[in-house]
Structure 1
C-alpha cells in the first residue's frame, strides 16, 4: 500500500531539531534536495502499489534519496542507514520534518528500493533534474546578444556539442575459468542431491554416490598448479564434466521418486537450471574444442553477466554490463545498457534524435571515436548539418592546413571529457564494480551513478558561479575550473 503525502516541502529553517537549532540553507544536502524533482515522479512510483492492501510503503523521496545517499557517500546499505540516523541533513534530504534518532528503515529495505525503482525511472528523473538545472543556470546567467529571429516554420539551427562513447560496468564476480565454473556447478548439484535425498530417504536403501572427495582432489590437483598445461586442464575439465553428468542423473532419479520439484526452493531451482546450462555449454566447448559459445555463463550466482570484449590495454575482456552514454554541457545520460555485447555505433542516430527531443534542436557537432565514424553515420549527420569529429574517409591529404589541425586537436580535447566522466564514475562512484547481484537492481544502481554524477557537476558549477565573479575570472576559464574541480573530487 502507498500513501501519497500531500504536505508541501518544508524549508530547512522549519526542520525541528532536539537541540534548538536550524539547518543551514547552504548545506550541500539542502541544495541537492531542491534540485531533484521528487513530486513529478511520485505518482509513477506509487502506481506499483495497491491503494488499500498491504502495509504503508516508504515515500518515493525516501526510497530514491536513500539510494542517492549510498552512492554519493560510497558506503554499504547498513552504513547508509546509520549515517541517516545520525545526520539531520540526511533526514531532511529524505523528506523528514523533524530529527529522529531511530532507524528510518531496515538496511534490507534498500534492496527493495532498488527493485521498485527501475533504471528507466531513474533516467527520467535524471533528465528532468538536468533540465531544471539548465533552466535555472540560463535564467541566472547574463543575457547574451539576441540572434537573428528564425523564420516561422523553419527548423531551429544546430547548437551545442554532443559527445558519445561506450564503456563497461564490471560486476562483482571473480575472474571466471572453465575449471572453476565446473567445480562450482558440481558442488551445487551435490547440495541439491543432499536436499532431495532427505525428502525420499525412506524409499531408498542407500544414498546416491557423488564421489565428492575424489572430485575435489582432482580439481585441486590442477587448480593449485602455478602453471598448469593445457593437457592437464583439459583432462581436469573432462573429469568434472563426468562428475556433473553423474550428479544430474542422480537428481533426475530422485525427482522421479517424488514426481515433482516443489520441495526445492526458488534459489535451489534456479541454481539447478544454471548448473545444467553451464554443463551443456562446457560440454559443447570441450567436444568441439572451442573457446567461446553464445550467451556464455561466467558466474553461477549472476548468470546474466556476459563477457564484454573491450580491447583495452590490460583489460581485453570485462565481465558486466555495456553502457552507451551521451554527454553535453558537462552532464551525462545513460542511453543504452545491455548485458550482451553490441556495436555502439548503431546507437548514434538514436542518441542524436534523443538529444533533439530533449533540447529541441540538433547538435552542431558530434564528438565520437573511430568506431562511430561509419559511412552510414557520416551521411546521416551530413544530411542534418551535423559535423562529426575525426578525419574524413579516404586517402589522407599530403598537406593539412593549420585550421584543420587546430580543429582536430580541439575535437580530441572535447571528446576527452567523457573519458574523464567514465574515470570519475569508476574511481569515485563505484562503477568499476557493481555490487548489486540481480539483473534489474544492477541496472538501477548503474543509473543512480549517473544521476549522482550530474548532481556533483551542478554543485561544482554552483561553486564556480559563486567564485568567478568574486575573483573576476573570465567565463572562458570557467569550464577548465569545473573540470579540475571534478577531477580532484573524483580522487
Structure 2
C-alpha cells in the first residue's frame, strides 16, 4: 500500500529539532533538496503499489533520497541508514518533518528501493532536474560565462548551437577474475553441495550416497591453479578432468530426482545456481570439444550470470567484465543514454543521442565531439545533412600540408572531448562506477543511473555556490567605494 504524502521541500524553519535553533539555509543538503523534482515522479512510483492492504510503503522521496545519499557519500547500505539516523540535515533531505533518533527504515530496504526505481525513471528525473534548474542560475551575474546555464527565451531552431560530447565506457562488476578452469571448479563445488542437500532429505537406508570424488577433484584443480604459468596443454587437461567431474555430479543430481528428491528442497538461490551450472557445462563442453576460446552469451560468474566480458582493447585492461554504457555530455552535465550487459558498437547510438539533445534544447548541436569509432560514413553523412560538424580528420588520404587553423581546431576538439572523459574518471574515482557492488542486473542498472544523477546534482550545487561567490566578490571588491561610502 502506498500512502501519498506532501513531497514539497519543507521550510527549514518548520523542521523540528530536539534542541534550540534551526537548519542553515546554505547547507548543501538543504540546497540540493530544493533542486530535485520530488513530486514530479511520485505518481509513477506509487503505481507499483496496487493493493490497499499492508503497511504503508516508504515515500518516493525517502526511497530516491536515501539512494542519492548513499552514492553521494560513498557509503554501504548499513552505514547510509546510520548516517541518516544521526544527521538532521539528511533527515530533512529525505522529507522528514522533524528530527528522530530512530532509523527511518532498515538497511535491507535499500535493496527494495533499487528494485522499485528503474533506470528509465532515474534518467527522466536526471534530465528534468537539469532542465528545471538551469534557468535558476543567472548568466548575467557571473563573469567570463563561468556558469553559462540560462537559455534565451527565443532561439532560432534552424541555427545549431552548443557542443555535444559522446563516449562509452564499461562498469566492472564485483566478481573474481574468471578463468575456464576456475569457473568449472566453482560449478563442481556447487553441484557437490546440491547433492548433499538432496541426499539428506532422502531416506538414507534405501539410497546410497553418490560418490563425487571431491577431494581428488580439488587436488587436481590445485595442481594446475597453483602453478605460476601453466602451459596450454596442462590447462586443457585440467579442464577436461573438471568437465568429467561436473558431468558425473549432474548425472547424480538427475538420478536423485528420479528416486524421489525434489528441487523444492533447494533454496531459490541454489536452484538458480543449478540452472546456471547446466549452462556453464554446456558452454565449456562446446568450447573444449571445438577448441574455441569464445561462445555467445558466455557466463563468467555463477552468482551474476548476467555479466558478460566487454572487450575494450585498452592497455590497462583489454577485457572488462560488467555493463557497457553510452553517455552524452553537454554544458557540463552528463546523461546516461544506453546500458547493456552485452557488448555493442557505440557508433550506432550517435543519431539517437543527437536527437535527444535536440529534444532537450530545441536545436541541433553545432559540433559533435567523438573518438574514431563514431566517425563512420553513415554518421558523417547524417551529421552533414543537419549542419553538424563532427570532430576529427576527414575521410581519405591525409593532406600533405595542413593549415594552422586546422591543427588548432583539432586541438580544441580534443580538449572539448576531454570533458566526458573527465566525467567518466569522476564517476569511477569519486563515485562507485569503478566497481559495481550490486549483484542483480536491475539493481546494478539503477545504481549506475543514480551515479549520473548525483554527478549532475553535484555540478548544479557547485555552480550555485560559485554564483554566490561571484556575486559577493563583484559587490564588495570590484566596487569598494560603495562598500565604504
For 1:152-191, list aligned pairs within 5 A.
155-191=157-193
| Shift in Å, 1:138 | 4.8
Alignment partner, residue 231 of structure 1: 233
Q: Distance in 1 between matches of 2:162 and 2:415?
A: 15
Aligned twin of 2:52: 52
C-alpha contact 1:74 1:429 (8 A) present in aligned 2: yes
Show CA shifts across 1:47-72 (max 9, x none): 00025122110000000000000000
- Alpha-carbon contact 1:13-1:24 (below 8 Å) kept: no
Alignment of 1:393-408 (within 5 A): 393-408=395-410
Structure 1 residue 9 corresponds to structure 2 residue 9: yes
CA shift for structure 1 position 196: 0.9
Task: Tell me: CA distance 1:285–1:128, structure 2 relative to 1, closer, same or farther (3 Å).
Answer: same
Q: Does 1:437 align with 2:439?
A: yes
Aligned equivalent of 1:135? 135
Cα distance in 2, alignment partners of residues 148 and 328 from structure 1? 19
Residues 269-296 of structure 1: per-residue CA shift (max 9 Å, x gap) = 1100101111111111111111111111
2:25 touches 2:31 (CA, 8 Å); kept in 1?
yes
Of 263, 271, 276, which aligns to 2:273?
271
Distance 2:220 2:378 in 1: 54
Of 221, 224, 227 in structure 2, the residue corresponding to residue 222 of structure 1 is 224
TM-score normalized by structure 2? 0.93
| CA distance, structure 2, for counterparts of residue 281 and residue 7 of structure 1 | 51
Is the contact made by 2:367 and 2:389 (CA closer than 8 Å) also made in structure 1?
Answer: yes
CA displacement at 1:264 relative to structure 2: 2.3
Q: How is 1:113-128 mapped onto 2 (pairs within 5 angstroms)?
A: 113-128=113-128
Quote how far apart the aligned CAs of 1:140 are: 6.6
Change (3 A) 1:428 1:147: closer
CA displacement at 1:205 relative to structure 2: 3.4
Three-state SS of the structure 2 residue aligned to 1:136 is coil
Structure 1 residue matching 2:433: 3-state secondary structure: coil
1:147 deviation in Å? 9.3
Number of matched pairs: 470
Matches within 5 A, 1:304-323: 304-323=306-325
RMSD over aligned Cα, in angstroms? 2.0
Task: Spell out the pairing of 1:200-211 with structure 2 (5 A cutoff).
Answer: 200-202=202-204, 204-211=206-213
Match of 1:301 among 300, 303, 321: 303
**1:79-478, aligned counterparts within 5 Å?**
79-138=79-138, 155-202=157-204, 204-258=206-260, 260-471=262-473
* Residues 98 and 355 of structure 1, relative CA distance in 2, 3 Å threshold: same
Pairwise CA distance, 1:448 = 0.4
Aligned pair 1:21/2:18, yes or no?
no
Moved more, 50-59 or 189-198: 50-59
Deviations 1:378-408 (A, max 9, x none): 0000000111011111111121222111111
Match of 1:488 in 2: none
- Write the distance in 2 (CA, Å) between the matches of 1:102 and 1:433: 31
> Is contact 2:141–2:470 with CA below 8 Å preserved after alignment?
no
What is the rounded CA distance, in whole Å, between the counterparts of 2:166 and 2:154 in structure 1? 30
Contact 1:310 1:318 in 2 (8 A): yes
CA distance 1:162–1:7, change in 2 (3 Å): closer
**Aligned counterparts of 2:181 and 2:25: Cα–Cα separation in 1:** 58
Match of residue 38 from structure 2: 38
**Structure 1 residues 465 and 146, CA, compared in 2 at 3 Å: closer, same or farther?**
closer
Stretches of structure 1 that go unaligned for 5 or more consecutive residues are: 474-491
| Structure 1 residues 402 and 338: alpha-carbon distance in aligned structure 2, compared to 1, 3 A threshold | same
